[in-house]
Chain A
Amino acid sequence: MPLMTLEQLSYNYPNTQGLDHLDLTIQTGEFVCLLGPNGSGKSTLLRILSGLATASTGTYRFNDQAITADYLRDATKRQQLHQQIGLVFQNTDVQLFNPSVTEEVAFGPRQLGLSTAEVTQRVTDCLALTDCTELRERVPYQLSGGEKKRVALASVLALNPSVLLLDEPLNGLTIAAQQQLLTLLSRLQAAGKTIIMASHNFQQVQAVGQRFIIFNSAHQIDADVAGSVLATQPERQAQLMTL
């Protein structure tokens, strides 16, 4: 059974189109990169997958359960979905609202009914994984852009979602931090997580992606190729470099 299935899915914003008739299947444990120019619909797709928005037409099924507005109206079901799917926003500012980094990361686990020791354990682990340990007493609001990205990832990771959605997570990171993040994502994938990452920079994600879904500016999927296939197509690679 596929993890996520999209059938003829479209999404319309009040006065523009966001996505145009997508068909897509994603299996558990995949590492998927969404590529495409600005405004092609990558963020919109991540919003749909995470349940923040629901399809205008077409269907989205997660674990064979259709995710509709009606389904999400039930607070319990919605929160169960959120527990399984974590999203790191493109604009990480909006994601950090607690008075300190430690509290920010502890926010999620605290609600799971874990013991204080377990919560502390999770916070320590997540901060270490994202290389944020020395930021623990800082105020999220005063961090730099790259630091905010890492803290946001740590705070999502602390909930231990089985699917991790990341919207342009590499923006604003130094090359070293990018490498570190990509390595962490690969390790998470090896641990059984599904990773879906949006990016407009093919170069940055070329090495790690095992499947590339390429959007065009008409909000449609242009190509859906495996990394191994893409490696044999230098002309397409060259084309992606100039996105």
Chain B
Amino acid sequence: MHIPDNYLSPATCGTLAIAMAPIWTVAVLKVKVQIKQHRETLPMLGIAAALAFLIMMFNLPIPGGTTAHAVGGTLLAVLIGPWAACLALTVTLLLQALLFGDGGILAFGANAFNMAFIMPFVGYACYRLGQKLHHEKIGLAIGAYLGINTAALVAGIELGLQPLLAHTASGAPLYCPYGLNIAVPAMLAAHLLVAGWVELVFTLLVYQFVQKVAPTNLYQTTPKTSQRPWLYLLGGMALLTPLGLLASNTAWGEWSPSELKHLLVQQHVGSTVPQGMAHGFHFQALFSDYAIAGLPVSVGYILSALTAILIFLLLIRGLQHDQSTFKN
């Protein structure tokens, strides 16, 4: 699940890292609240990061003689809370990338997005849902399975988009060479069939043990306090979204139908046009889609970015208004 370097284009990596920024900010705010009640949460972040590291390096036996390893995202979310888990897993991933060569350094944001955000939160949501329906173990099991598979799906999509997003003039992929039609099924098959089950059994057994031995050590949800952090998250995302336009040579969803068809045909048929090594920088197409005739590229980009920011600010304004009327 750790995506190595050079499988994702720098633009994708950057976008996902920037997308993580507001999530980390909210996580820090949320954890600060948690620390007020359980002061040991502060050192626990670091210790949980070490724990996650050990979980990820532990080989679990699977029938057939081989081994797999769990990630523990859902488990940590249930044990120390999803926001603390997000921070702890981030630290784990950073350590792995910088000091142990597990997962790329540029791809750190992408890996954090998949394994420190998607996985614990999907898992935790299922767990909470199960708790509400008085079947928390079933919720946890589903959460562990769904969490790792959602993360794998997202990783597969990130990888599979690369040939569409970044390719040479002749269509040869620059980064991960597999399209969506290969990357997504490959990631999903491995996780749906094996890793997901390993994660499920592992999570459930550790949870059972802790629940039996020291039920008070499980994360207790705090009563709902303020919705502000969510607004920060939304706001941050909104503000940063224009940067996302950077992520692709041709921006998301802006392929003209013929272009899309062309790309997809290339993907499936597989063009074997040999690619010269000295094609120069592939940056030439970067801003072309935003260049309005007669305007310099940079001005056009700034204008579109400003427009997007304004739209999102308006959206937030509207949301805020709605909430205050609800309260009254």
User: A residues within 8 Å of B by Cβ?
Assistant: 99, 139, 141-142
Q: Return chain B residues, CB-CB under 8 Å to A99.
A: 209, 212-213
Among A99, A139, A142, the one with the most B-chain Cβ atoms within 10 Å of its Cβ is A99
Task: Determine the chain A residues whose CB is within 8 A of the CB of B212 once the complex forms.
Answer: 99
Interface flag for B293 (CB, 8 Å): no
- Chain B binding surface SS class: helix
Residues 208 to 235 of chain B near chain A (Cβ within 8 Å): 209, 212-214
In whole angstroms, what is the CA distance A139 to B214 when docked? 9
Residue ranges of B at the interface with A (Cβ–Cβ < 8 Å): 209, 212-214
CA distance A141 to B216 in the complex (A): 13
Per the bound structure, the CA–CA distance linking A99 and B212 in Å amounts to 7
Complex CA gap A141/B214 in Å reads 9
Shortest distance from the beta carbon of A222 to any chain B beta carbon, whole Å: 39
6 other A-B residue contacts (CB within 8 Å) besides A141-B214, A142-B213 = A99-B209, A99-B212, A99-B213, A139-B214, A141-B213, A142-B214
* A141-B215 Cα distance, complex, nearest whole Å: 13
Residue of B209, B212, B213, B214 with most partner-chain A CB within 10 A = B213
Closest to A97 in B: B209
Nearest 3 pairs of A and B residues by beta carbon: A99-B212, A139-B213, A99-B213
| Chain B residues, CB < 8 A from A141 | 213-214
How far apart are B212's CB and chain A's nearest CB, in angstroms?
5
In the complex, which residue of chain B has the Cβ closest to the Cβ of A141?
B213
Min CB distance A97 to B, Å, is: 9
Q: Which residues of A contact B214 (CB under 8 A)?
A: 139, 141-142
Interfacial chain A residues near B213, Cβ < 8 Å: 99, 139, 141-142
Residue ID in chain A nearest B211 by CB atoms: A99
Per the bound structure, the CA–CA distance linking A142 and B210 in Å amounts to: 12
CB-CB nearest in chain A for B212 = A99
A139 cross-chain contacts in B, Cβ below 8 A = 213-214
A69 to chain B, nearest CB (A): 21
Q: CA of A99 to CA of B210 in the docked complex: distance in angstroms?
A: 9
Q: How far is the CA of A141 from the CA of B212 in the complex (A)?
A: 12
Q: Give Cα A163 to B64, complex, Å.
A: 37
Cα of A99 to Cα of B211 in the assembled complex, Å: 10
Give the complex CA separation of A225 and B213 in angstroms: 46
Shortest distance from the beta carbon of A72 to any chain B beta carbon, whole Å: 20
Contacts of A142 on B, CB cut-off 8 Å? 213-214
A141 to B213, CA, bound (A): 8
CA–CA, A141 and B209, complex, Å: 12
* 9 CB < 8 A contacts A-B: A99-B209, A99-B212, A99-B213, A139-B213, A139-B214, A141-B213, A141-B214, A142-B213, A142-B214
Contacts of B209 in A (CB 8 A): 99
Q: Shortest CB–CB separation between residue A126 and chain B, in angstroms? A: 21
Q: How far is the CA of A142 from the CA of B212 in the complex (A)?
A: 12
Within the complex, what minimum Cβ distance (angstroms) separates A99 from chain B? 5
